[in-house]
């Protein structure tokens, strides 16, 4: 067996022990990890400085350097995050259903961990801490693979977290750091041991992972998010929300990439919208009509994620064309409507097939922290298992527990007994 | 575009309309379909007779012929099934979460259909009716591919169901029957339109599907189910339950394939168990010790699904070895413990990593109908999305709906506003 396979065997074995840990044990381990991180801050910052120095030598772009930096402010953020995770309910062992099948034959649906989760993430050391603590709280073993640029920081963080966890009672093998692309590829073949892969990164990267593994993948394809401004919108509200949705942080998946404007607003709101966008350094790409009216370039394709101060603008004939456009060219991530008509808003939110559908607010709200999930392990554009921002609840599965007293199916097949199927409150 | 791609486009388009149908409309369509099936019974039986005649000519085995037959009894069963489906709650539009993020900014998690589901199933015409009606009730469009032997029956059934549905208000394109293996392969490439594939069939078949598509697959690998008889069991109960678990219906995935017997029972229950099994025509394959003691063949491998009057028997040293054996050699389907010790039962049910874990009852209970789900579309051994018997709830996803009034993320980033995250009762 390769070292990685041995690691996977130990992670699987650990996962069966993680599954039966009590909430207190998991919370104590989280507290111990938080303390260990604070106690080892010098060592962490030293490793991070090595990574930063190397990254600067390699001329890494400023936003990437900012993500790579792990200083006392970031350390406080992640340890605060761990403290708040401790206060959240244990996602494991929740009863979701109770049905009395017959006298003395009771069925429960109860949440349980998924098992072994492999997470591949960008060069952000704070993400390592978040992901490890989310997996711990949800009772899963975890394989972590961070970006190459953060290699030293990740190694130190993973070592501190793993050892503090084991000292606090977690089973050996509960966390593994992998560091090479070869190990990622090898992990994709370990469908016998790894239950879920969560890749964070570009659309091309997520597609690559999906094409190369039998393990279920939870990831987001891309974020082609829309804001549709309906004819009966409040103009001031529309401009404010759209500007935030486009410019509050342009390089993220929940930023608006296409603005759909009702044709009735062509001579009123539209000119104001275009000038507001331009005043805020946003380059506008229009459909034929918009580009003719406002002397801007044509949008070449509608399924396009700029991640930049750029936006597509298209005129549509009412809600029906807006919904069709989004369901055709969107990515099922996050889409908003601006309208004063509640019925129209509800129709839009029911018909648009996306993880998050919003009324009169910015697409930038679609995020695990803002949604109140504590933290998020990613945003899923899949419709299976977990959709939208994924917090602790997306990291658990469930099992059915059936309690009997010598019951056999033969009695029901013969007609001797009949099922009662009484649904109980939980 | 190929005919199949055109069909997929129409199914996707229909799925957006299916998603917003009211419960009454869906229930009316179900009632109309039930009536149309009863009204067209002669045509259905005629088509089924053609299939049966052909199958007899091809020397199809008796159990398969039995599954293929669609007579007045089967028709009554499926229309009764539709009637009971009508009485079940609509799985779409259920609020799962309500959080007030801030004053006037309310988040809901609401169930919605998955979209377009492709189901590939065995030569059982009644399965076609069940699957179509489950997909309708859950608001999904559906591609159906039944076994080749049932081709004529399936064509007639699908035609009746589709037309009655459309006449009752369902959108065109909501149901498609596909008939060739080539079309199945072509469907696997349509990940742009098809949201979920549910393959029913052999392990090899499910693996083939998984390896050849980017579409999420919900299926069961195989059913290597165990019954563990603990030292403190009630002997009479143990024998009764194990016999049912093994012999009540041998060719199904929830039949017990391996019996684990506590070593303490070697001289007491074990001889009685072996003779009971043999009295019921069950051939025993033992571990070294059992085969030596009872003059039976050795079990060659422990991950083995007989689907026959055959069973593996192994002695284990207590619950810990039993759990390890199941988690190593089982298939995560259904496993039972027979014991009078509640604490031991709970430990077993928490530690065994399977979709269904049972105490003092037969593994044969793990089934959507017996669990009270109305009907099942399959049993999932995956831990993602739906696990165990899958009814209506496994055919829906959810979306987040956020209701605001001009809210922007900038206000929270700047510190002007703070999230309140008040969890509301639903």
Q: Please give the average per-residue pLDDT across B243-265, as a whole number.
A: 96
Q: Mark whether A325 and A265 lie in a shared domain.
A: yes
- Site of tokens 């129709």: A347
Query: In terms of residue numbers, what domain contains B141?
Result: 3-219+382-399
**How many contacts, defined by CB atoms under 8 Å, are there between A and B?**
242
Q: How many domains does chain A have?
A: 2
CATH number of the domain to which A318 belongs? 3.40.309.10
B window 254-273, beta carbon within 8 A of A: none
State the pairing for strand pair B95-102/B105-113: antiparallel
Domain assignment present for residue A121? The answer is yes
- CATH code (residue B103): 3.40.605.10
Residue identified by tokens 């933290």 is A375
On whether both A154 and A202 belong to a single domain, the answer is yes
In this structure, the answer to whether residues A214 and A254 fall within a common structural domain is: no
Nearest to A115 among B216, B353, B372 (CB): B353
Q: Give the model's pLDDT for residue B61.
A: 86
Residues B131-148: pLDDT tens digits? 999 999 999 999 999 999
Structure tokens belonging to residue B291: 């085969």
Residues 6+ away with beta carbon under 8 Å from A371: A365, A388, A389, A391, B99, B101, B107, B400
CA distance B263 to chain A (A): 21
**Are B384 and A384 within 8 A, CB to CB?**
yes
Between β-strands A105-113 and A396-407, what pairing exists: parallel, antiparallel or unpaired?
Answer: antiparallel
A313 CA: distance to closest CA in chain B (Å): 20
Please tell me which residue of chain A has the smallest CA distance to B323. A16
pLDDT of residue B205: 87
Q: Do A67 and A104 fall into the same domain?
A: yes
Given a contact cutoff of 8 angstroms between Cβ atoms, the answer to whether A321 and A265 are in contact is: no
Q: What is the pLDDT of residue A219?
A: 81
Neighbours of B58 (CB within 10 A): 8
Q: Does residue A243 fall inside a structural domain? A: yes
Task: Give pLDDT, residue B147.
Answer: 92
User: Do A97 and B393 form a contact (C-beta atoms < 8 A)?
Assistant: no
Whether residues A419 and B372 touch (CB distance < 8 A) is answered with yes
Are the C-beta atoms of residues B388 and B356 closer than 8 Å to each other? yes
Assess B337–A contact: CB distance below 8 Å, yes or no: no
pLDDT, tens digit (0-9, with 9 covering 90-100), for B202-250: 888 888 998 899 899 988 768 999 999 999 999 999 999 999 999 999 9
Strand partners, B422: B100
Mean pLDDT, rounded, for B264-286 = 97
Same domain, A180 and A262: no
Using 50, 70 and 90 to split pLDDT, how confident is the model at B369?
A: confident
* Residues A194 and A324 placed together within one structural domain of the fold: no
Residues from chain A contacting residue B343 (CB–CB below 8 Å): none
In a domain, B54, yes or no: yes
In angstroms, rounded to a whole number, what is the distance separating the alpha carbons of residues B253 and A421? 23
Q: Are residues A146 and A280 in the same domain?
A: no
Model confidence at B258, pLDDT cuts 50, 70, 90, reads very high
| Same domain membership, residue B200 and residue B124 | yes
**A415 belongs to a structural domain:** no
Q: Count CB neighbours of B56 within 10 A.
A: 11
How many Å is the Cα radius of gyration of chain A? 25
Distance (Å, rounded) from C-alpha A214 to C-alpha A303?
28
Q: Which residues contact A11 (CB under 8 A, 6 or more apart)?
A: A116, A141, A142, A143, A173, A174, A176, A193, A194
Nearest Cα to A218, choosing from A380, A388, A390? A380
Q: In this predicted structure, what is the pLDDT of residue A23? A: 97
Distance set, CA A20 to CA A91, A112, B286, B348, B424 (Å): 12, 9, 31, 10, 30
Residue A298 lies in a domain: yes
* CB B120 within 8 Å of CB B213: no
Task: Say if residues B248 and B255 touch (Cβ distance below 8 Å).
Answer: yes
* CA nearest neighbour of A406 among B248, B336, B127: B336
Interchain pair B360, A410: CB under 8 A: no
The pLDDT confidence band at residue B62, using thresholds 50, 70 and 90, is confident
| Residue B250 near chain A (CB below 8 Å) | no
| Cα–Cα distance for residue pair A339/A227, rounded to 1 Å | 11
What would the 3-class secondary structure string for chain A be?
CCHHHHHHHHHHHHHHHHCCCCHHHHHHHHHHHHHHHHHCHHHHHHHHHHHHHHHHHCCCCHHHHHHHCCCHHHHHHHHHHHHHHHHCCCCCCCEEEEEEEECCEEEEEEEEECCEEEEECCCCHHHHHHHHHHHHHCCCEEEEECCHHHHHHHHHHHHHHHHHHHHCCCCCCCEEECCCHHHHHHHHCCCCCCCEEEECCCHHHHHHHHHCCCCCECCCCCCCEEEEECCCCCHHHHHHHHHHHHHCCCCCCCCEEEEEEEHHHCCCHHHHHHHHHHHCCCEEEECHHHHHHHCCEECCCCCCCCCCCEEEEEEECHHHHHHHHHHHHCCCCEEEEECCCHHHHHHHHHHCCCCEEEEEECHHHCCCCCCCCCCCCEEECCCCCCCEEECHHHHEEEEEEEEEEEECCHHHHCCCCCCCCEECCC
CB contacts under 8 A, B 165-204 vs A, are 195-196
For residue A312, being part of any structural domain is answered with yes
Write down the ipTM of this complex: 0.90
Q: Determine which of A98, A335, A350 to mutate to test the interface with B (most B C-beta atoms within 10 Å).
A: A350
Chain A, 354 to 393: residues with Cβ < 8 Å from chain B are: 354-362, 364-366, 370-372, 382-385, 387-389
Q: Cα separation of B192 and A240, whole Å?
A: 34
> Do A145 and A275 sit in the same domain of this protein?
no
Shared domain check, A191 and A253: no
A402: which chain B residues are within 8 Å (Cβ-Cβ)? 356-359, 361, 365-366
**Domain assignment present for A78:** yes
For residue B71, the model assigns a pLDDT of: 95
d(CA A67, CA A59): 14
Q: What is the rounded CA–CA span in Å between residue A357 and residue A288?
A: 28
Test the A interface: residue of B193, B254, B370 with most A CBs within 10 Å: B370
Residue in this structure with the two tokens 């991530």, named with its chain if needed: A333
Tell me the average pLDDT of chain B.
94
Interatomic CA distance for residues A221 and A202, integer angstroms: 8
CB contact under 8 Å between A244 and B410, yes or no, is yes
Nearest CA in chain A to B357: A401
Closest CA to A30 of A82, A75, A76, A80: A82
Task: Count Cα neighbours of B409 within 13 Å in the Cβ-side half-sphere.
Answer: 21
Task: Assess B342–A contact: CB distance below 8 Å, yes or no.
Answer: no
In a domain, B408, yes or no: no
**For each of chain A's 426 residues, which pLDDT tens digit applies?**
889 999 999 999 999 999 999 999 999 999 999 999 999 999 999 999 999 999 999 998 887 888 899 999 999 999 999 998 999 999 999 999 999 999 999 999 999 999 999 999 989 999 999 999 999 999 999 999 999 999 999 999 999 999 999 999 999 999 999 999 999 999 999 999 999 999 988 888 888 998 899 899 988 768 999 999 999 999 999 999 999 999 999 988 999 999 999 999 999 999 999 999 999 999 999 999 999 999 999 999 999 999 999 999 999 999 999 999 999 999 999 999 999 999 999 999 999 999 999 999 999 999 988 998 877 888 888 888 889 998 898 999 999 999 999 999 999 999 999 999 999 998
Chain B contact present for A65, CB below 8 A: no
Q: Which residues of B touch A216 (CB under 8 A)?
A: 216, 382, 384
Whether residue A387 sits in one domain with residue A342:
no
- Return the closest-CA partner of residue A274 out of A328, A319, A229: A229
Question: Between chains, do B387 and A408 touch, taking CB under 8 Å as contact?
Answer: no
pLDDT at B294 over 90: yes
For residues B324 and B262, membership in a common domain is answered with: yes
């Amino acid at each position: 067996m390769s070292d990685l396979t041995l690691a996977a065997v130990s992670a699987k074995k650990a996962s069966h022990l993680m599954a039966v840990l009590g909430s207190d044990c998991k919370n104590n381990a989280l507290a111990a990890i938080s303390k260990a991180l604070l106690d080892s801050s010098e060592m962490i910052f030293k490793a991070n400085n090595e990574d930063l120095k190397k990254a600067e030598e390699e001329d890494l772009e400023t936003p990437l350097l900012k993500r790579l930096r792990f200083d006392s402010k970031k350390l406080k953020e992640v340890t605060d995050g761990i403290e708040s995770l401790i206060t959240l309910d244990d996602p494991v062992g929740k009863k979701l259903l109770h049905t009395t099948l017959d006298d003395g034959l009771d069925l429960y649906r109860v949440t349980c961990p998924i098992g072994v989760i492999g997470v591949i993430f960008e060069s952000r050391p704070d993400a390592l801490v978040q992901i490890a603590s989310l997996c711990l709280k949800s009772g899963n073993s975890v394989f972590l693979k961070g970006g190459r640029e953060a290699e030293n920081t990740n190694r130190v963080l993973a070592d501190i977290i793993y050892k503090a966890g084991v000292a606090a009672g977690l089973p050996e093998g509960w966390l593994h750091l992998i560091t090479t692309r070869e190990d990622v590829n090898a992990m994709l073949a370990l469908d016998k041991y790894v239950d879920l892969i969560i890749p964070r990164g570009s659309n091309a990267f997520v597609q690559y992972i999906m094409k190369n593994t039998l393990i279920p993948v939870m990831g987001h394809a891309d974020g082609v998010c829309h804001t549709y401004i309906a004819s009966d919108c409040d103009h001031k509200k529309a401009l404010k929300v759209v500007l935030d949705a486009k410019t509050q942080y342009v390089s993220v998946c929940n930023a608006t990439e296409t603005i759909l404007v009702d044709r009735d607003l062509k001579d009123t709101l539209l000119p104001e919208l275009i000038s507001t966008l331009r005043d805020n350094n946003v380059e506008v790409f229009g459909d034929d009509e918009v580009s003719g009216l406002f002397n801007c370039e044509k949008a070449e394709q509608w399924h396009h994620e700029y991640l930049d101060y750029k936006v597509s603008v298209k005129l549509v004939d009412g809600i029906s064309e807006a919904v069709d456009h989004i369901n055709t060219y969107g990515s099922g991530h996050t889409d908003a409507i601006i309208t004063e008509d509640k019925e129209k808003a509800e129709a839009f939110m029911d018909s648009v097939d996306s993880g998050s559908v919003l009324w009169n607010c910015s697409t930038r709200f679609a995020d695990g922290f803002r949604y109140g999930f504590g933290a998020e392990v990613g945003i899923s554009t899949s419709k299976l298992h977990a959709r939208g921002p994924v917090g602790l609840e997306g990291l658990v599965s469930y099992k059915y527990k059936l309690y009997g007293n010598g019951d056999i199916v033969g009695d029901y097949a013969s007609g001797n007994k009949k099922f009662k199927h009484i649904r109980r409150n939980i």
